[in-house]
Structure 1
Amino acid sequence: MRLPAMLFALLVAAPAAAACASSVAVSPTPNGVRISGGGQFATTGAVIVYDRALAPDGAQASATVESVAGQTRSSLVAEGLLPNRTYGVHLHVNPCGAKPDDAGPHYQHAHSHADASNEVWLDLKTDTVGAGTSSARHGWTLNRDRLPRSLVIHAEPTAPDGTAGSRIACLTLQ
């Protein structure tokens, strides 16, 4: 399978990541933390699909969240999704599981409200072949004792209240 250069570079750079195979990594940085996960969506495991109509066979994604020096940077690269579509994407509190709701609610930095400044929203717009990238930056750091454990791809773009439709796929981050 031929990977776009950007997806290949991200997969090679992530610890223990490999195309078409699930991977999970948590690595300390000098003053922070880096969590990541990725691979091809399967029906079980750390990279799981719940809706093949919206995440077809062969779809894959890789995500990295790096938190250091008062900043948190999150990035997502995906391919094989439906073309010309916007998906809502958020960090969640629990690892992926057999059921979409197993990932729990959105990860919130301050436990107070649902918006893009308090949560990590990585809505993804795919191109004509179903590939896309997304990133977010926040002026706060993750708490090592309360890290997000997954990244969930939702069926719809994120609404102002933080809702984004059904959960179609999930990447476990820790």
Structure 2
Amino acid sequence: MKRHAWAAAGLGALVSTLAFTPALAGSGHGEHDGHDGHDRAGHWPQEIDFKDATRFTGEVTDLDTSTDAPTDGVEATAIIARGVDGSIAGLKLRGFEEEASGTQFGAHVHTGPCVEDEPETAGPHYNHDVATGREPVRVDRSTEVWFDLVVSDGGTAGDGAIVPFVVPEPQDGAASIVLHEEPTDHDGEAGGRSACIPLD
């Protein structure tokens, strides 16, 4: 995990990442994403702590080196900033091959670490209901961190999310972001695991 002082350059990086999602580029209030009946961008969390935000920049970890995937060799920047009543997460990917243009896939914050060729080591999604013992457990954008990614003609993809809970530090249960093979469905499923971004 790389921690920055979050002066102007750090804050600019966060805003730039979040700007990939129109719903997050404005005030951060309640634009509907059309996927699962939930607001994609909730209220902007109070007292966001940019100084101690979690940030990773580097190449993604290949979770299946035996097969070719659009995410092979891709570089990632991931940011999670926490407030007192919620969190902001941003994800930017670059370096996709030209033939990957238009590819859609989901990514989610997971509980376990990234280990090459060991997709299951990343564990399940971080789910705030599970973490806090709430029943029944909800699986949606209000309890998990989901990213919807579409590769551009320029070989990049990015998305952001605002969630109404404080995402834990990597050592406390939010250790990675897993890139999947398919778009996220209403149940939070997105196919196989192709790559992983460490947050520790």
Give the TM-score normalised by the residue count of structure 1.
0.73
Distance in 1 (CA, whole Å) between partners of 2:189 and 2:57 is 24
Distance in 2 (CA, whole Å) between partners of 1:32 and 1:147 is 20
Q: Tell me the equivalent position of 2:102.
A: 84
CA contact (8 A) 2:62 2:72 kept: no
Distance in 2 (CA, whole Å) between partners of 1:132 and 1:49 is 19
CA contact (8 A) 2:151 2:157 kept: yes
Q: Aligned partner of 2:177: which letter?
A: L
The answer on 1:167 being equivalent to 2:193 is yes
Distance in 2 (CA, whole Å) between partners of 1:75 and 1:31 is 13
Higher helix share: 2
CA contact (8 A) 2:86 2:162 kept: yes
Higher strand share: 1
Give the TM-score normalised by the residue count of structure 2.
0.64
Percent of aligned positions that are identical: 30
Unaligned stretches of 5+ residues in structure 1: 1-8, 15-28, 42-46
CA contact (8 A) 1:32 1:67 kept: no
Q: Tell me the equivalent position of 1:149.
A: 175
Deviation track 1:85-141 (CA, whole Å, cap 9, x = no partner) reads 111100000111131111000001121222111100011111113211100001221
How many residues of Structure 1 are paired with residues of Structure 2 in the alignment? 145
Q: Aligned partner of 1:72: which letter?
A: S
Given candidates 116, 125, 143, the residue that maps to 2:150 is 125
Q: Tell me the equivalent position of 1:5.
A: none
Unaligned stretches of 5+ residues in structure 2: 1-8, 15-47, 131-136
Q: Aligned partner of 1:69: which letter?
A: V
Distance in 2 (CA, whole Å) between partners of 1:128 and 1:48 is 23
